[in-house]
Structure formats: C-alpha cells, structure tokens
Amino acid sequence: MNPRPAILMLPDETAKFRVRDLGVAYGGTPALRHVTINLPDRQITALIGPSGCGKSTFLRCLNRMNDLILTARIAGKVLLDEQEILGNQIDPVELRKRVGMVFQRPNPFPMSVYDNIAYGPRRHGIRARGTLDQLVEQALVQAALWDEVKDKLRQSALDLSGGQQQRLCIARCLAVQPEVILMDEPSSALDPISTFKIEELLLELKAQYTIVIVTHNMYQASRVADYTGFFLTGDLIEFGPTVEIFERPVDQRTDDYVRGRFG
Amino acid sequence: MPHPRQTFDAQLRALEQRLLRMGGFVEGMLEDAVKALAKQDTQLAEEVVRRDDVADEQDIDIESTCMHLLALQQPLSKDLRVIGTALKITTDLERIGDYSVDIAKAALILAGARYPAPLTRIPRMAEYTVAMVQGALEGFVHRDFRKIEEVIALDDKVDALYVEVWEMLLQEMRQSSENIVRAANLILVARYLERIADHAVNVAERVYYMETGVLRQLATSHQTD
C-alpha cells in the first residue's frame, strides 16, 4: 500500500554526513543503537522524538560533543564529506569549526556584541582589524541581526533580548564560516515572534549550510525541515521527507508520536 | 495508560458522526426525490426541496468544525487526513443534496406528464446511485476498501445506463415534439444521477486517502467535468 521504506537512504553523493551503524552508550547504558543514515547537504534535517530518545546524543556525535562526557562509548562511523570524524585522526576543535553548534538557551559570552562574534575568528588566528570588522558585519547580517545591533556593537551582549541573543549565537557560529550548523532546541526558550525569526533565518541559511536541528516542537520541524528523523528509545525509527513524516508516516510508532497518541 | 489526546479523539469521532448524519440525510433526499419522480408525488417533491436548507446548514457546520480543529489542534498524520477528508466529503454530500433537489424540481414539472411506459432505466440508475452513496458512507464508517471497490464498479453501470437513457430519450424527442419537455427533463434527471454517482466516487476516493495517505483517482472512467 505504501512502498516507502521507514528509513529513507538518500544517495551518498547528496549527503553531508554519512552515518553508519552509530551506537552510543553512557556508562554502559545504550543511548543510541545502530543508526545508519545520510544527512543531506544544504538542507534542513529535523530530529524529533520524546525526551531520552537519543536525538540530542545523535546530534552531539556530529561534532564530537560527546567527547566531553567521559562515560560515553561510541561505536560506528560518521563521515563528514569523505572524512571519518570519530577517530583520532581529526582534531575536535578543527571539526567544530566546520560543524558549529547553537544551544537551547542563548549563551552569549559576557562581553560586547562585537567581541562575541569576533571570538571564534580570533581563536582561529585572525587578528587584522579590517578582516574582523568584515567578518562580524557579515555574520550579523546573515543572522538577520545587523540592523538591530549595528549601533550597539560595543554594548554588552547580555543587554540584548532573548531572541536577539539567540541570533547573536547563530552569528557567532557563522563567523567561523562553518559548513554545518547543529541546533539543539534553538527556540524553545524564545517567544513566538523570535521563534519565527529564527525559522526564517534557517530557511535562508540552508542555501549555504547544512542544518541539523533537534526540536521538541513538531510544528517547528514541519515548518522548516526538508527531512525529518524520528527517534525512539535510542533507535532511529523513521527518516524521510518532512511532509511524508507528518502526513503519512510509515511506522505506527511515528504515527502515534506525531498525533500525540503516546501514552 | 490513556494517551494524552482523548479530548481531541472525541472531537474527531463527533466530526465523523456529523458527516454520517449528513450523509444519511442527503441519501434520504435522493431516495425521496426519485420516489417523487416515479410516483409523480408533488407533496414529497416539495418536501425534498425544503430539506435543502438543512443539508446546507449541516455542510457549514461541518466545515466550521473542521476549521476549528485545524486551528486549535494542529492535527498531523492520520488526524490531518481525517479532517481534510471531512472537508472534501462534506462538499460532495452537499452537492448530492443539491442534485436531489434538482431531481425533485424535475419531478414537480413532470407531475402531470404522461409516461408512455413506467420508467425503468432511471429508477435503476437511481437504485445504483443510492447504493453508491450508501456504500461510500459505509466504506467511510468501517474503513472498508471492499465497499469502496463496489462503489467504483457501480459507477461504470451508472455511466452505461446514462448513455442508454440519453439515446432512448433523444429517439423519443425525434419521434414527436410532444415528447420534448418530458424527455428533456428526464435527460436532466439522468444527468443529475450520473453526477451524484461521481460525487459518491469522490467520497470513496477520499476514504482511501484517509486510510492510506495516497491520493489517487480510483475510477478510470471518472470525469469531474
């Protein structure tokens, strides 16, 4: 009746990440099991699922944030373009330059708007004033924040509103010119208008960046994502075009979840 | 453990019940309109015409319920398909009601006419058409694809009868100009029945979509002109 496989395998050549048999356990407790998936380049992929389903664990594998958790044991392979990123051959700091991250709560550094954005480029060795000015402006324009802060670049970033702070964090992420942006619940602490601003921004950014977003808000996934993956108790249950997941999911568990029939 | 959307479930079931009530109502209009035509019963024909307002109210009521549920519940997956289906089906049912009124009006015009022989093909068309509407509604209630297939199969019979009726009445008109008013009105009735059958097919197709998520035209001969 419905020939679509539950987990769509996108062609390797369109994938930014190729994840193979990825498993993660924290202190012996499995958090993610045998995930095999291709994440499409310059598209938005949303990861949904109930708390504890493994979606954030999966996201954190994509830029090695799980390295910071000492009890985490990781198996399988993650290829970013052609490069294996889980092994020792790659420097996690270099990886995180290519694969940036934005978190649930806006976390600007306690410094000026300008210094927040210039922080990354400076860390990566850029010192020339002109180059930095240009990077800061470019990142703020891209994050749709420039017009609101161009006269306040020397003011503390902590004086910005929550929605502005989150766009500042996105700009800070963009300033190191990453290829991928990972987002963990980027608008769950924001009001609806700020949320819509972030979503509009994502739709613009996807022309240049691969975006992977974890969200509890299914309607956010349905509004912004090209592809959606559904996780449950550490398993990837379904992955496919967003409209398929929300209009006619293949797996009954996906259907129950998106319809709120979990109990 | 009960799931967290019990209230919404109840609202969806209530929506389906309303659709069924409306379906039963327009089905009754159709049956009575055809009976009024065959028995030349003007009282019954007038009664059918009056019922149109009720069908229209039911249509508006169902549409606004659907819009409220869309706005307030943000349905997804099957829930979304049920509401989308209800929005489409209610329009089909409302049209079936309208055509039944048209048949009743033809019955009023033909009340004094003398039929050369008792009508046979039009009542048979009507019988099939009523069965199609019933079948589509049963298919909806029980999510029964066999019923849906029966509806599709009957549509071909209705289409074939329509061609026969058309040719036969054309022949009568050629024979004598006295036959024209009667024959022309009966051609219209046959046309209304054929359209009602198409609306029943629409309903059937929606049930298929609602269950599978796949939109497709089930009847190959189905024209939506």
Chain B closest-CA separation from residue A214 CA (Å): 19
How much is the pTM?
Answer: 0.86
Residues of B in contact with A237 (CB under 8 A): none
Confidence bin at B117 (pLDDT 50/70/90):
confident
Q: Does A259 touch chain B (CB under 8 A)?
A: yes
Contacts of B191 (CB under 8 A, 6+ apart): B162
Q: What is the pLDDT averaged over residues B76-96?
A: 96
Residue in A248, A254, A261 closest to B5 by CB? A261
Question: How many beta carbons lie within 10 A of that of residue A251, not counting itself?
Answer: 15
Contacts of B223 (CB under 8 A, 6+ apart): B198
CA separation for the pair B112, B106 (Å, rounded): 11
Contact criterion met (CB below 8 Å) for A197 and A147: no
| Site of tokens 């069965």 | B131
Chain B closest-CA separation from residue A254 CA (Å): 9
Q: Which residues of chain A have pLDDT under 70?
A: 1-2, 263
| Site of tokens 């930095």 | A132
ipTM of the complex: 0.78
Count of positions (residues) in chain B: 225
Q: Phi then psi for A227, rounded to 5 degrees? A: -130, 150
Confidence bin at B223 (pLDDT 50/70/90):
very low
Contacts of B166 (CB under 8 A, 6+ apart): B187, B190
Cβ of B80 within 8 Å of Cβ of A219? The answer is no
Distance from chain centroid for Cα A151? 30
Q: What is the pLDDT averaged over residues B215-221?
A: 73
Helix and strand numbers, DSSP H then E, in chain B: 6, 0
